[in-house]
Amino acid sequence: MTHPLARIDFRYNTQHVPPKVRAAIQKNTRTAIVKRGEAVAQLGVATWEQLRQAAHDLKLHTLTHLDAYLPQLEANVIAAGGVVHWANDADEARRIVLALARAHNVTRITKVKSMLSEEIELNEALGDAGIRALETDLGEYIVQLDHSRPSHPTNPTLHYTKEDIAEIFRRELGVDAPPDPFVLTEIARQKLRAEFLAAEMGISGGNFLIAETGTLALITNEGNGRMCTTLPPVHVAIVGIEKVIPDWNSLAVALSLLARSTTGQQLSAYTSFITGTRAGGPREFHLILLDNGRTQILRDPAARETLLCIRCGACANICPVFQNIGGHAYGWAYSGPIGALVTPQLIGTLRAGDLPFASSLCGACADICPVKIPIPQILVHLRQRVVAGDAFAAPVAPPAMQAGARAGAFGLSQPWLYELGSQMLKFAQMPFARGAWLPSLPPPANRWTLTRPFPKFDATFRDWFRARTPQGRAQKQTRALGAAVLALGAGALLFALARKLWRRK
């Protein structure tokens, strides 16, 4: 992970992906996409599309009524015997967890996989305080053993092969393990079973918070979520304020979409519903509601839908950029297209201004998103924030880029200037052209031609258009007429000017 205050250099990061990692990511994302496709087909595409629209609308409804749903949720959690904490930022969330751990003399914590925990770097803070926080999702466990970071929203070990993992187990656990997923899984089961039983506190995130009853819905496949929220005497859940949904009817829609998008399952193996405390469960239930920049996103109508995300990871799997570089290149807790949206908004464009450009805007992410986040549109909005600035942030792009963007915007908004430019390029390219291609261009355009040739500028589209369509032909006539009038006018002007000059002599 990048240093907390360092700028994320996406371009640099993409150039330092080992080929082996690239191959593992391509294989694993492809598998995920195929499985998801099968699950959607099984449900029926028409039903799927209805559910997506409903999920989009109900989550946007909740977000635009958060001022009502958050207090409702809070009241219901408290009524069920839970404690609700509010955290403005990452630091406050960490301090609340630390205070709870100290109050209960906690030395060992078992954790359920949570992106939000990565966002607030909770494990580091607990470690600094001498408290061991152990990740228990197999993928997170492996990543933690390797002192690394998750490389995908739902599949943290996407970048490892089974051989890599066997090597990590050998190195960190001192066990001689074959590169066999089943044996490796069994080793982790044995190691972690003892930890679950010994832990004094369980920490989880949350997939959904149901305002109607104050219920936390927590989804896992391995059963570690159940272990961490059942066995230790204290359960602390840290959840972003955007995870609220109104009611259990809404939950039915959301659950129908989540597992299918994530793993291609109809439902994940375990969905736990936790409402405050219960007999036989943890004695204490604490819910920490985290803002950490989310209300800022909520303020911006053009970016608000970022908060619809249910963290399925499908956008990462389908993204041609992600498939080639994996999650680490995005430099922070959230990766893939959703990371390119979330990160610059949560940590600022000064540090993460590269990320909105980490996309070809092909739109595959928007097509696959189960809650229909218009990812490419928001990326374009954020690009504008980076280059031109807006009500939320000053521009951070270098002055040359800002000037270039302004010039580009002007050129593209004036048809005559655009056409003039494209016709001039035909001449300007002459020294560089080799046949139909421009094999190498001077800087800064050489950043393209260093890796692949650029096709020659033909600038023939407008001619083609004018020759083939009625609008084009009409446009051509208008333009011819316009040109004639212009030429006459210019001629008359020149004539008048010439006469004037002549008389002055």
Q: Which of residues 127-156 bind other proteins (CB under 8 A)?
A: 136-139, 142, 155-156
- The one-character DSSP state at 456 is P
Q: Is 177 in the site for other proteins (CB under 8 A)?
A: no
Residues 6+ apart with CB under 8 A from 131: 98, 101, 106, 107, 108, 109
Task: State how far the Cα of 392 lies from the Cα of 398, in Å rounded to an integer.
Answer: 18
Footprint of other proteins on 185-244 (CB under 8 A)? 185-186, 188-189, 192-193, 196-197, 212-215, 221-224, 226-227, 230-231, 241
CA end-to-end distance (rounded Å), the chain: 77
Cis before 178 (ω within 30): no
Considering beta carbons, is residue 308 or 375 the nearer one to other proteins?
308
Rounded least distance, CB 42 to other proteins, Å: 10
Q: Which stretch binds other proteins (CB under 8 A): 46-54, 415-423, 462-470, 474-482?
A: 46-54
Task: State how far the Cα of 317 lies from the Cα of 424, in Å rounded to an integer.
Answer: 42
Write the binding mask 237 to 266 for other proteins: x where contact by CB under 8 A, - elsewhere.
Answer: ----x----x-xxxxxx-xx------x-xx
Q: Which stretch binds other proteins (CB under 8 A): 11-19, 44-52, 367-375, 387-395?
A: 44-52
Calculate Rg over the CA atoms of the chain: 28
Considering beta carbons, is residue 25 or 397 the nearer one to other proteins?
25
3-state SS string for 363-431: CHHHHHCCCCCCHHHHHHHHHHHHHHCCCCCCCCCCHHHHHHHHHHHHHHHCHHHHHHHHHHHHHHCHH
Footprint of other proteins on 412-451 (CB under 8 A)? none
Footprint of other proteins on 362-381 (CB under 8 A)? none
- The one-character DSSP state at 111 is E
Q: Is 119 in the site for other proteins (CB under 8 A)?
A: no
Rounded least distance, CB 248 to other proteins, Å: 5
Q: Is 402 in the site for other proteins (CB under 8 A)?
A: no
Considering beta carbons, is residue 60 or 405 the nearer one to other proteins?
60
Q: Is 64 in the site for other proteins (CB under 8 A)?
A: yes
Considering beta carbons, is residue 123 or 268 the nearer one to other proteins?
268
Task: State how far the Cα of 248 lies from the Cα of 63, in Å rounded to an integer.
Answer: 17
In 3D space, the residue among 251, 389, 235, 259 whose CA is nearest the CA of residue 311 turns out to be 259
Footprint of other proteins on 261-300 (CB under 8 A)? 263, 265-275, 278-281, 289, 291, 295-296, 298-299
